[in-house]
Structure 1
Amino acid sequence: MNKLQLIVCLSFLSLTCLVTENVFSQNSNATKKSFLSKEKIGQVQGQDVFQYTLQNKTGMQVQLITYGAAITNIVTPDKNGKMSSVVLGFDSLSQYAGNDNSLMGSTVGRVANRISNKKFTLDGQEYTLSSDIHGGVNGFDKRVWKGKEISKKNEPAVEMSYLSKDGEEGFPGNLLVTVTFTLKNNNDLVIDYKASTDKATPLVLTNHTYFNLSGGQDSKALDTELTVHADQFLEYGDGSMPTGKILDVKNTPFDFTSAKTIGKEIEKVQQYTHGYDVTFALRNQTGKLALAAKAYEPVSGRELEVYTTEPGVVFYSGNWLSEKVKGRNGVPYTKNGAFCLETQHYPNSINTPAFPNTVVRPQETFTSQTIYKFLVRK
């Protein structure tokens, strides 16, 4: 290589680093334009895995990977305009595909949450599953999805699709699922679910993102103020399996009808279950989009509003996060270091006739929408 070639190469590398720094800058000088990029980040199960980066006109960014149709990063401003990540994640694809991944940002199915005794009966036939939780041993969170870029009025969007074959993890029917993630210019992250099947099958889909709205300023989420628009919750027994009873939240540690910090009464819950892992029966049971929950982090001033068409939301307080596991930038996780608000139908509905229906049949199209709206209180 001669001197001129070396100068050209060094100039290109400098430009590449500058562009990368501008795109992923986590401060108020982030590039303020909408864009969508795609890159191959490796392989899992012999299949290529891609990462998509979405940015809107305000500089907010969302990153997704086709392994598990997972949200790996969300970067939003705090009350001072500083941009930083508000979700837990990993630095490498191998970590997402490894045993330490607790559904980090994943799309969960075919049936999210729990099915008692790994069994259910549908149309007179009994089915036995590979596991009683989160769609089986190899649920949707451990599958490689197909990604496709979507153009939506200058708002970046990615459609993830997966064909779950008849008998997979014990479930009946060939089920085609698409999940579309749209980053809007008002800082809404919209998740649209759609599915169809050739045989009757239960279906409960959700997203399992872990939020810490402090943006790294607080290693725990216990001071986050939570409000849930629900007057009732599902009673649960061993393993957080619902008993079938729906109880009032009043005079219980599960009362978040007005804003309360996650940590205020968590010790009362930890006596029994190590922390919050509870399904709320939302006030809205119409199937139309409505506000389900709100979280406010006082240090950063960030606020998260969750809207959904689903009848329930699972609140999980990161009870099993462990310092033995290192997350993004090599920072260890901590117990209660983040929380999940998983919009979904009720767990074990297929075995609980009183719960809302979760069975999808041929000629039916399942649709559901959840919106994570990111705001700031000055």
Structure 2
Amino acid sequence: MKLRNILLSSAIGLVTSITANAANLTSQPYGTTQDGKAVDIYTMTNKNGVSVSFISFGGVITKIITPDAKGNKENIVLGFDDLKGYEITDTKEGIHFGSLIGRFANRIGNGQFTLDGQTYNLEKNNGPNTLHSGNPGYDKRIWAVKPIVSKGSTVTASLTLNSPDGDQGFPGNLAVEVIYSLSDSNEFTIQYKAKTDKPTVVNFTNHSYFNLAGVKNSPYGVLDQQIWLNADRFLVTDSNSLPTGEIVPVKGTPFDFTQPKVVAKDIRQANQQLAYGYGYDQTWVINKGKTALQPAARVVDPKSKRTLEIATTEPSIQFYTANHLHGNVMGRDGTLYRQADALALETQHFPDSPNKEAFPSTRLDPNQTFDSKTVLKFGIQK
């Protein structure tokens, strides 16, 4: 049976699967949205027992299961037990667990930008600014999912979405494709592609919250986990976490992760930038290298020995210590999620780029194809 024929209707309630060499993809019904749309869940599994699960609602990554140094498997991302959590609770709290973010990730100042002399107004949902494009974002929509015939020991799925002209206030009909793939080398790749029929701006990311120990195994959250960032500079922000346009060296600041250090080491320093973000919630400028795909981050959990390495074609990464989880959200398995229970590492273009000429451009024209790739590699520290 060919890959394109494996998906069965949700109505029959069956699990379907296919194997591409050792890698495997399954799908089954997950639930129904409030307006009656069917949602399916897909799980990619490789020969090492690493698996990634996602749903067609928002392309949300619901679980990433990896083994620790002793072979014990644990889910390393935060989330909910069911669709209601992602559709209702997540929307109310503005968390974006595991979500695909678009049309523009992160903040746009004053909820507006000007392109070719025309000003576009967006929903102001983050103080005076726009965060993750307003509601409903791409993370609250149904994506069309289909498997892709894979070569070698990799399983791949394509998620597509059509975003009409004027959607969220942005110009242009935008055709978006996100490709998820998991290999037997424990690499999970997210590739973003987009085309438009008129000039617009785009900036995509995935908003997974990672805890390499698993939340139930880490009463102190991620504070004891070690992180390295391939970044000598970061973006200064104002009191609303909007970039001022100033880019400064990390050396001599709490934002220096050029040598691996535990999250807790400097997070409580008396620093105005940390105060603005209630912890780490800044954009680091990834050091340029000779190739498009550059190392961006590495996380190590000292107990489980699990590691996460991130490489990307994007110019920056947002490091966020889940500062706005206040223990009022009931997560998976009845767990109350709190500040620093996880960390997000969002590869992306700079926030507010449409309003900052000196920042790398996020403009997309009709004769161009947006193409961005981020690779997450799971492993064990030797």
Q: 1:130 aligns with which of 102, 123, 130?
A: 123
Match in the other structure for 2:218: 218
Query: Deviation of residue 273 (structure 1)?
Result: 2.6
CA distance in 2, matches of 1:240, 1:271: 10
Counterpart Cα distance in 2 of 1:285 and 1:127:
35
After superposing the two structures, state which structure 1 stretch, 180-189 or 327-336, moved more: 327-336
- The answer for unaligned runs of 5 or more in structure 2 is 1-14, 125-129
Query: How far is the alpha carbon of 1:151 from its aligned partner?
Result: 2.4
Moved over 6 A (4+): none
Which of 26, 35, 43 is residue 32 of structure 2 equivalent to? 43
Question: Per-residue deviation at 1:218?
Answer: 0.6
Structure 2: distance between partners of 1:65 and 1:368: 21
Residues 315, 349 of structure 2: 8 Å contact kept: yes
Aligned residues: 349
- Aligned-residue offset at 1:165: 0.5
Residue in 2 aligned with 1:114? 107
Q: Where does structure 1 lack aligned partners over 5 or more consecutive residues?
A: 1-19, 24-31
Asked whether the equivalents of residues 76 and 374 of structure 1 are also in contact (C-alpha less than 8 Å), the reply is: yes
TM-score (normalised: structure 2): 0.88
The answer to whether 1:263 aligns with 2:253 is no
Deviation at 1:272, TM superposition (A): 3.6
When the two chains are superposed, the root-mean-square deviation of aligned CA atoms in Å is 1.6
Tell me which residue corresponds to 1:29: none
Is the Cα–Cα contact under 8 Å of residues 231 and 281 in structure 1 kept in the other structure?
yes
Q: 1:33: Cα distance to partner?
A: 4.7
Which has the higher mean CA deviation after the structures are superposed, 139-148 or 203-212?
139-148
CA distance in 2, matches of 1:371, 1:33: 20
Give the letter for the 1:224 counterpart: Q
Q: Deviations over 1:190-231 (max 9, x none)?
A: 011100000111100000000000123113001111100000
Residue 306 of structure 1: how far off its partner (Å):
0.4
- My pick for the range that moved more, 162-171 or 147-156, is 147-156
The 8 Å contact of residues 74 and 87 in structure 1, kept in 2 or not, is answered as yes
Name the counterpart of 1:350: 354
Secondary structure of the corresponding residue to residue 112 of structure 1? coil
Instruction: Show the 5 A alignment for 1:8-27.
Output: none
Distance in 1 between residues matched to 2:52 and 2:227, nearest whole Å = 23
Match of 1:249 in 2: 250
Do the aligned residues in 2 keep the contact of 1:287 with 1:310 (CA within 8 Å)? no
Residue 317 (structure 1) aligns with: 321
TM-score normalised by length of structure 1: 0.89
Q: Does the aligned pair in 2 maintain the 1:285–1:311 contact within 8 Å?
A: no
Alignment-mate amino acid for residue 237 of structure 1 = D
How far residue 287 of structure 1 moved from its aligned partner, in angstroms, is 7.2
Secondary structure at the aligned position of 1:299 is classed as coil
One-letter amino acid matched to 2:178: V
Q: Give the Cα–Cα distance (whole angstroms) in 2 for the partners of residues 60 and 374 of structure 1.
A: 8
The letter for the 2-side match of 1:217 is N
Query: Greater shift after overlay, 107-116 or 316-325?
Result: 316-325
For residues 319 and 310 of structure 1, the distance between their equivalents in structure 2, rounded to whole angstroms, comes to 24
Q: Distance in 2 between matches of 1:205 and 1:117?
A: 20
Q: CA deviation at 1:34?
A: 2.6
User: 2:105 is aligned with what amino acid?
Assistant: A
Aligned to 2:167: 168
1:83-107 deviations in Å (ceiling 9; x for gaps): 1101111100000001246100000
Looking at structure 1, the residues matched to 70 and 239 of structure 2 have their Cα atoms a distance apart, in angstroms, of 44
Q: Percent identity?
A: 43
Whether the aligned pair in 1 keeps the contact of 2:44 and 2:182 (CA below 8 Å) is: yes
Provide the C-alpha distance between the structure 1 equivalents of 2:277 and 2:107, rounded to a whole number of angstroms: 16
Are the equivalent residues in 2 in contact too, given 1:287–1:311 (CA < 8 A)? no
